[in-house]
A and B are shown apart, each in its own frame.
Chain A
């Protein structure tokens, strides 16, 4: 599906064009449903979430700025945020952002840095600079919506260790992307 087509459909949906909404749904819902299923891990909840997501899309289409983010990304962000919100409401996790963060500096590996610089700054290259299990944890958090508690369990490390893993990994990724 061409970018322009989705962008045009979103534009028409913003004008409350129901046919365009139906077309947008048929072209994009399998991807958005996949997000719901993967994050919520329950078909009935995923379907409920999908309905709410398309209701939001209908209501917010006028806020899509054409020429802004990729239109599909715009839809995926709405879907992921909704699915994550649904999950966190169902299974609450600890509040953390007002606590102290352990963000000690970590020196980048010069050899890997050189490789990365030569290959460009794609996130995949930067992910390769992380230790394999940490990169895996970052990816699982994003793709499956796992909480710190669940990640700690999956990787068999204490909760605080997992928090430190992910936070330092985020800093390394940021530093790599900006290099």
Chain B
């Protein structure tokens, strides 16, 4: 699942995989792989959207059926009762045996808030404007990450709100500019407290509109230097 030359036979294969995804014939595992790739590969995501648009006329086959009257009540109770509770994770979330299976096999739920500060080269020091990205994944559980980027020393401090995982997996942070391949920014600290020092050559790339993504990788990070595991959260930076 990597970006292919548009003229190659692999592009035909990509078209078919994108179509299979929209038809719904793929396995749960394969669906997660497709979704992870959509986050990182704009051309591939466009193929999927294309199929979505093209095949949507089949939706006419769904004759409306009134849902049971109590359904809305249940939805509102689940939604608005849950809002009153603390947003994150019950105790033991990161230690849950099921967690990494969930991360790998199902799409994960992530709400990751990243606060960064734009490069000091563009603004006078002490007046750096913050950038915010809400990195949102998809699922029932929630990961909250808070990150602060100090343009002065290039330190990106990441604090997962619920981070005590004992499993041999790492969360890796990626920077994606437009259609360029994802560049690794480093491994999120296993302990939940610590900093990622952004490589000098990447510091100038921190600005509004770049994509930050988090993927699940083997312990210690991607063995290949590119994203290998499912992307659990992604979002664009913007001025808050």
Contacts and interface: CB of A to CB of B under 8 A. Distances in A.
Interface of A: 18, 21-22, 25-26, 29-31, 33-35, 37-39, 47, 50-51, 54-56, 58, 60, 63, 69-70, 73, 76-77, 80, 84-85, 87-89, 92-97, 101, 103, 122-124, 138-139, 141-143, 145-148, 151, 166-167, 170-171, 173-174, 177
Given A47-B67, A173-B54, A148 B25 contact: yes
A179 to B, nearest CB: 13
Nearest to A69: B53
Interface residues of B, number: 50
B74 A51 contact: yes
B15 A174 contact: yes
Interface of B: 1, 9, 12-13, 15-17, 19-20, 22-31, 33-34, 49, 52-59, 61-68, 71-72, 74-76, 78-80, 106-107, 136, 138
- Secondary structure at the B interface, as helix, strand, loop or mixed, is helix
Contacts of A21: 76
Given A103-B9, A166-B20, A167-B20, A22 B30 contact: no
Contact of B62 (A25, A29, A35): A35
Nearest to B62: A34
Contacts of A122: 57
B52 A73 contact: yes
Contacts of B52: 69, 73, 77
A97 B54 contact: no
Given A33-B67, A73-B52, A96-B26, A55 B62 contact: no
Contact of A25 (B26, B34, B58, B72): B72
Contacts of B29: 95
B30 A50 contact: no
Contact of A166 (B9, B25, B61, B79): B25
A25 B19 CA distance: 29
Contacts of B28: 85, 88-89, 92
Contacts of B31: 84-85, 88
Nearest to B74: A51
B56 A73 contact: yes
